[in-house]
Amino acid sequence: MPELPEVETIARGVDKRVRGDRIVEVWFSRHPQPFKTPRARQARELAGRAILAVHRTGKHIVCELSSSDAKPDADASGAQWIVHLGMTGRLLVTTPETPVAPHTHARLTLASGRELRFVDPRRFGRLEFRDLHHAAAFGAPGDEPLTIGADQFAALFRGRRLYIKAALLNQTLLAGVGNIYADESLFHAGIRPRRRANRVARAELDRLRLALREILTHAIRLGGSSVSDYVGADGERGFFQLEHCVYLRTGEPCRRCQTPIRRIVVAGRGTHFCPKCQR
């Protein structure tokens, strides 16, 4: 499942390649699952629009589009094409000659001759169109972990009795934090995953916020160096794997104190921590 840094990396890579381009033709597969907006309407609406920018919101990739009649240099977004990658989705920028991969559900032909393709074998990904004249812009329900302030971050956990790890994964609190980054940030902040969120001290929450931001930023930086592989014509995944401190290291020595890393289940997810470094 793509995590926040991967989605950010893809969004940046796609933005670099298609910003200012225009959608001239749209092809969609016949599978109904990927289309949150009916495919016929989506195809009709996308054709002709300029791509003003591509960015990440939560774990979604948002393509800001011009109004249907605007010029490519228009700066106000008139519509959005929202891509959720689901478990196995990929968004690729290709040449038209690139063989079409199995499970391709969308091909947007651009004025530059390139194609923007959505490939998703398991079909948990979703494609949505929003006309901003009639609907609100897409927003993730939770706060953005890269930019949230200390007070706002602490307020998320106030009065919540759920486990801190479960709170980190709760997408209505923070947008886009997945299992790896929850485990790793709790390790760096020295907090046990099964502490009650409302019992974690302010100083610990401050450390957690910084750890989360640092780990996500680091992962984005590493991923950024392989952007061309990730969204390249061949669709090969090139995301650089972080050297994890606890995630999937059950029984291996803690990198800080040599104590074997333990695994428990929290909120239905495998959870890894150091029983000595995390309190």
Residues near Zn ion (CB under 5 A) are: 254, 256-257, 259, 274, 276-277
Least Å from the CB of residue 207 to Zn ion: 15
Output 20 or 260, the one with its CB closest to Zn ion. Answer: 260
Catalytic residue, from 39, 59, 195, 209: name it: 59
| Choice between 112 and 259, CB closer to Zn ion | 259
Q: Check if the beta carbon of residue 119 is closer than 8 Å to that of residue 105.
A: yes
SS3 of residue 35 by DSSP: strand
Q: Which is nearer to Zn ion, 148 or 254 (CB)?
A: 254
Q: Are 120 and 89 in contact (CB under 8 A)?
A: yes
What are the start-end ranges of the E strands in the chain? 23-28, 51-57, 60-65, 79-84, 90-94, 104-110, 115-119, 126-131, 262-266, 269-273
Smallest distance from the beta carbon of 250 to Zn ion, in angstroms?
Answer: 14
Choose between 39 and 272: whose C-beta lies nearer to Zn ion. 272
Nearest distance from C-beta of residue 126 to Zn ion, angstroms = 40
Query: Which single residue is written with the structure tokens 């709170």?
Result: 167
Query: Is 269 an annotated catalytic residue?
Result: yes
How is the chain split among helix, strand and coil, in percent rounded to 5?
30, 25, 50
Q: CB-hemisphere CA count at 13 Å for 217?
A: 10
Catalytic, out of 194, 196, 213, 269: 269
Evaluated on CA atoms 202, 203, 205, 210, the torsion sign reads: positive
Question: What is the DSSP-derived secondary structure letter of residue 101?
Answer: P
Active site residue 3: yes
> 2 an active-site residue?
yes
**Backbone conformation region of residue 103, classed left if phi is above 0, alpha if psi is from -120 to 50, else beta:** left
DSSP letter (8 states) at residue 216: H
Give me the least distance between CB of 149 and Zn ion, in Å please. Answer: 30
Q: State the residue number with the nearest CB to Zn ion.
A: 254
Q: Which is nearer to Zn ion, 19 or 262 (CB)?
A: 262
Catalytic residue among 2, 5, 145, 193: 2
Nearest approach, Cβ of 168 to Zn ion (angstroms)? 19
Q: Any alpha helices (H) in 163-267, and if so which ranges?
A: 164-169, 179-189, 202-224, 227-230
Comparing CB distances to Zn ion, the nearer of 212 and 277 is: 277
Cα–Cα distance measured from residue 13 to residue 198, given in angstroms and rounded to the nearest whole number: 39
CB of 252 to Zn ion, least distance (A): 11
Residues known to be catalytic: 2-3, 59, 269
